Amino acid sequence: SFYDAVIFSTGAEADRALDIPGIELDGSYGAAEFVSWYDGHPEVPRTWPLTAEKVAVLGVGNVALDVARVLAKTADELLPTEIPDNVYQGLKANKALEVHVFGRRGPAQAKFSPMELRELDHSPNIEVIVNPEDIEYDEGSIATRRENKQANMVAQTLE
């Protein structure tokens, strides 16, 4: 297998099931559960199994990008965000060496801002790599880029 952990980010309050082979395997989590942990929600366990070296994040929303950011940055880089101490300690032990973000839709449908995307690239420990051959624009995406300045800026940032 290519990944030790998979986090699917649908942007909902609660995780919804995705019809993806292997989604039920150990190491597969919904973003709502993970976000609740790093936000310090009192009803979520105080620890998280951050043992995966290669992580896939599925989604093109700001939640997916935030999950990738938390997994890819060092615990010290996240201190200014006022993360809870248990999360800081957990992230210090984070084994993730590679965090890959996969979208089921294209860049024109991304729900994060160009600034959020560029912020990932400001860390000395993160290299943002986009494979141009993975980007395709159908007629709807081309129209979205023409009509939506932010969608166009995100697409340009990814290109």
Structural domains of the chain, with CATH: 5-158 (3.50.50.60)
Give the pLDDT score at 12. Answer: 60
- How high is the mean pLDDT in each 10-residue block of the chain (159 residues)? 68 74 88 91 90 92 91 93 93 94 86 84 84 88 94 88
- Per the CB < 8 A criterion, the answer to whether 116 and 72 are in contact is no
Three-point CA angle 33, 34, 38, nearest 5°: 120
Give the pLDDT score at 50. Answer: 94
- Per the CB < 8 A criterion, the answer to whether 64 and 110 are in contact is no
> Is the whole model's pTM more than 0.75, yes or no?
yes
Give the pLDDT score at 76. Answer: 94
Give the pLDDT score at 11. Answer: 56
The structure tokens 């082979």 sit at: 21
- Per the CB < 8 A criterion, the answer to whether 50 and 90 are in contact is yes
